[in-house]
Amino acid sequence: MTVLIGQLFTGVSIGAVLLLIALGLALTFGQMGVINMAHGEFIMAGAYTTYVLQQVITAAGWSLLIALPIAFVVAGAMGVLLEMLLIRRLYARPLDTLLVTWGVSLILQQLARDIFGSPNVQTRAPELLTGNIALPGGITVANNRLFILALAGGAVVALTLALRVTPLGRRIRAVVQNRDLAAVSGIPTARVDRMTFFIGSGLAGIAGVALTLLGPIGPTMGTNLIIDAFLVVVVGGIGQLKGTVIVAFALGVLQATGEYLTTLSVAKVMVFIAIVAFLQWRPQGLFTLRTRSLA
Amino acid sequence: MTTVARDPVAAADPSPTPPTRPAAGPSRHRYRAAVGFAFGAALLFAVAPLLLSDFRLSLLAKYLCVAMVAVGIGLAWGRGGMLTLGQGVFFGLGGYAMAMHLKLADAGPGNMPDFMMLYGQLDELPLWWRPFASPWFALPATMLLPMAVAFVLGSLVFRRRVRGAYFAILSQALAAAMVILLIGQQGTTGGTNGLTDIQGFFGYDLDDPVNQRMVYFIIAGTLLALLALARHLMQSRYGELLVAVRDSEERVRFLGYDPATVKLVAYVVAAGMAGLAGALFVPAVGIISPALIGIVPSIEFVIGVAIGGRATLLGPVLGAVAVAWARTALSERFPGTWTYLQGLLFVVVVAFLPGGLASLIGLARRRDDGEPRPSRFARFRPRRREGAA
């Protein structure tokens, strides 16, 4: 029983990381249909922002807290820049967007290598987040994992609220559901796209801050994350957040279980097979947004 | 997202006039193609070996292997619209099948490959290695194994109409899964190192420059054969159907064809080509490892195709060779510069020159060949955006 719950928590914490890195994609890919392979590098930018801030502000707890909004803005600004310079021209060619943004990600990686050096760098975790909490029943959970879980939860709630109640969120939903009708109703769709991209990329920055708690930061960290993140959004279905949330945790638990029963590599392959099998059942993902726009 | 083809805008779009098939004169095309192939053969078999040093020739052999993968990608992506970002998997399957056989042959009958003794976890050869001792199994396996994997994945995926970006991401995830599996099973696959230090090729010593030259000739001949096959497919009725599926899958379905089968054929053929390329890469370079087949190399196969001209026959080959050559030339001296340049190539070529360099030179302009002109598919798949913008 203890093992079971322990594994469940491992799965949930893997899921929380997946959720954090996929949430921004759920917005840019899921809502706008833009395949941004440089999303992983926006995560990297968030992580390096934390690293830089820690060089300036030595108190690890404070630098982490300050890093959250700053990373959001840094990654978001990079996203807007990318949208304005390139993606805007390519909305009609989603597959080409994929390749172009891959090129951007190569450039950003090399930029990181030139600025921060090829070897990985490490940040210090604040003391509060280094220990474990012992729960009744002999289960221990790591503080940093709990923090990430809380952060992921907070991000989901904030994003959901932003989409549901703010005027901007209403406009985003309108554009997703029917772009032409939204444009006819006077919504500046191009500006809404840009804001959506800002938020989605900014969330990648937040994910980057969280990832500094789990491991070293390196120029290629984005490449390893991006595929998992895309798979979460593909399986979750586009146009809605709840699919992403459910699938992130489901894949996390699946992977933790697989890892427990076999090895890490076999578990990864199992997850891939499970995804292909799942898409047989629901090729459009778990939830799809049914709209009357025929796109 | 992936159901774009249903877009009513597509129906109103005047651009996709079907490429006119030449009513007469296939003999003229055959003549022109024959001249082209003769020229290519002369270049590869006479000019290159005479002009290049042994070292340069073995590099060219490596580039030509990449070009074989590019021919397949040109077929699947350029003609079929399937952006496959996982060709490294098929390249790797072919490469590992060949390398396993050569390792076993190097070790001699009854012995285990050197690296297995090194890691020392195994007392005897694993069961799934054993058939590869026979060339009659290993050689067909270099092509059939990747084709089988492509068939299973493709028939599952295409039948359920998973396409576009979804397919691209799945194919990329396949590459990721394959690499993780290879690295994880270090005892039997060589892990990160891969299968290295391959000495012989069916009894010929690979250190001998004469034998290296022989390997080069085999590779050049295979590439020409694959080009002939690709040309045949592109010129056939099937080739037109494939282009039709790329441009409007739904319409092809309404005409009574099964787009899934059409796509599957191109995908499986491309996988077989990649497998063959991997198999020949091994004797040319002497190594196959996860670093050569993962996500990054898989997507790098695509860039050469994009630069050369994805929908043309020769564009992918020339683009792949050019990119591979530029990489060797630049990355030795300025590794950082090469990465920037590669990124820029992706951005500039794909965003602003979707027809590739072929559209500049005019290689693809030969309308009477039924070749789609680049300008036409530069704006394929009209999406909801264009009305608003």
Question: What is the value of ipTM here, to two decimals?
Answer: 0.85
Residue B342 inside a domain? The answer is: no
User: Considering only alpha carbons, which residue of chain B is nearest residue A182?
Assistant: B388
The residue of A27, A37, A89, A96 whose CB has the most chain B CBs within 10 angstroms, and thus the best one to mutate to test that interface, is A96
pLDDT at B380 over 70: no
Determine contact, residues A268/B182, Cβ cutoff 8 Å: no
Of all helices (H) and strands (E), which one includes residue A233?
Answer: helix A221-236
Determine contact, residues A203/A24, Cβ cutoff 8 Å: yes
Domain that holds residue A85: 2-281
B176:A89 CB<8 A? no
Q: Of A29, A90, A234, which is closest to B351 when you measure between CB atoms?
A: A90
**Residue type at B114 in one-letter notation:** D
CA distance A222 to chain B (A): 12
Phi-psi region of B356 (alpha: psi -120 to 50; beta: other; left: phi over 0): left
What's the longest Cα–Cα distance across chain B?
69
Output A150 or B376, whichever has higher pLDDT. A150
Residue B169 inside a domain? The answer is: yes
* pLDDT, tens digit, 9 for 90 and up, residues A151-184: 999 999 999 999 999 999 999 988 888 888 999 9
The residue of B180, B189, B375 whose CB has the most chain A CBs within 10 angstroms, and thus the best one to mutate to test that interface, is B180
Residue A295 inside a domain? The answer is: no
| Exposure of A140 in the CB half-sphere (CA atoms within 13 A) | 5
Whether B185 contacts chain A with CB within 8 A: yes
Whether B152 contacts chain A with CB within 8 A: no
CB atoms within 10 A of CB B183: 20
The residue of A90, A91, A99 whose CB has the most chain B CBs within 10 angstroms, and thus the best one to mutate to test that interface, is A99
What average pLDDT does range A127-139 have in this prediction? 75
Residue B326 inside a domain? The answer is: no
Residue A290 inside a domain? The answer is: no
What average pLDDT does range A180-192 have in this prediction? 91
Residue A288 inside a domain? The answer is: no
A104:B347 CB<8 A? yes
* pLDDT, tens digit, 9 for 90 and up, residues B254-279: 999 999 999 999 999 999 999 999 99
Q: What is the pLDDT of residue B201?
A: 85
CB atoms within 10 A of CB A127: 11
Residue B174: name the closest of B92, B263, B100, B266 by CA: B92
- Residues B152 and B182: their CA atoms lie apart, in Å, by 20
A275:B173 CB<8 A? yes
Count how many domains chain B has: 1
Q: What is the pLDDT of residue A104?
A: 94
For residue A114, which residues of chain B lie inside 8 Å, CB to CB? 336
Whether B347 contacts chain A with CB within 8 A: yes
Whether B350 contacts chain A with CB within 8 A: yes
Q: What is the pLDDT of residue B28?
A: 67
Determine contact, residues B167/B111, Cβ cutoff 8 Å: no
- Residues B371 and B368: their CA atoms lie apart, in Å, by 7
Determine contact, residues A183/B388, Cβ cutoff 8 Å: yes
| Exposure of B288 in the CB half-sphere (CA atoms within 13 A) | 30
Residue A286 inside a domain? The answer is: no
A231:B386 CB<8 A? no
Residue B173 inside a domain? The answer is: yes
Q: Of B1, B83, B169, which is closest to A230 when you measure between CB atoms?
A: B169
For residue A189, which residues of chain B lie inside 8 Å, CB to CB? 388
Residue B190 inside a domain? The answer is: yes
For residue B189, which residues of chain A lie inside 8 Å, CB to CB? none
Residue A294 inside a domain? The answer is: no
Q: Of B83, B184, B387, which is closest to A264 when you measure between CB atoms?
A: B184
CA distance A88 to chain B (A): 10
CA distances from B96 to B118, B140, B276, B373 (A): 19, 13, 11, 38
SS3 content of chain B, % helix, strand, coil (to 5): 75, 0, 25
CB atoms within 10 A of CB A55: 10
Interface of B with A in 35-74 (CB under 8 A): none
For residue B177, which residues of chain A lie inside 8 Å, CB to CB? 268-269, 272
Determine contact, residues A225/A245, Cβ cutoff 8 Å: no
Of all helices (H) and strands (E), which one includes residue B219?
Answer: helix B209-235
Q: What sign for the dihedral angle of Cα B132, B135, B136, B138?
A: positive
Output B249 or B373, whichever has higher pLDDT. B249
Confidence grade of residue B357 (pLDDT, cut at 50, 70, 90)? confident
For residue A293, which residues of chain B lie inside 8 Å, CB to CB? 384
Q: Of B296, B340, B384, which is closest to A179 when you measure between CB atoms?
A: B384
Q: What is the mean pLDDT of chain A?
A: 87
Q: Which residues contact residue B313 at a Cβ distance below 8 angstroms, ignoring those fewer than 6 apart? A: B74, B227, B230, B231, B234
CATH of the domain at A157: 1.10.3470
Interface of B with A in 261-300 (CB under 8 A): 295-296, 299
Percent of chain B with pLDDT over 70: 84
Cα angle at A82 between B299 and B301, to 5 degrees? 10
Report residue B59: phi and psi, to 5°. Answer: -65, -45
User: Considering only alpha carbons, which residue of chain A is nearest residue B85?
Assistant: A99
B340:A107 CB<8 A? yes
Q: What is the pLDDT of residue B378?
A: 44
Residue B31 in tokens: 């003549």
* pLDDT, tens digit, 9 for 90 and up, residues A50-64: 999 998 888 878 888
pLDDT at B384 over 70: no
Q: What is the pLDDT of residue B97?
A: 94
Whether B305 contacts chain A with CB within 8 A: no
Domain that holds residue B188: 43-294
User: Considering only alpha carbons, which residue of chain A is nearest residue B389?
Assistant: A190
- Residues B194 and B342: their CA atoms lie apart, in Å, by 26
Residue A168 inside a domain? The answer is: yes
pLDDT at B65 over 80: yes
* pLDDT, tens digit, 9 for 90 and up, residues B97-133: 999 999 888 888 878 888 887 776 677 788 888 889 8
CA distance A63 to chain B (A): 31
Residue A292 inside a domain? The answer is: no
CA distance B299 to chain A (A): 8
The rounded Cα B43 to chain-centroid distance in angstroms is 22
The residue of B346, B352, B376 whose CB has the most chain A CBs within 10 angstroms, and thus the best one to mutate to test that interface, is B346
Count how many domains chain A has: 1
Residue A239 inside a domain? The answer is: yes
Residue A134: beta bridge partners? Answer: A140
Buried b (16+ CB within 10 A) or exposed e, A27-45: bbbbbbbbbbbbbbbbbbb
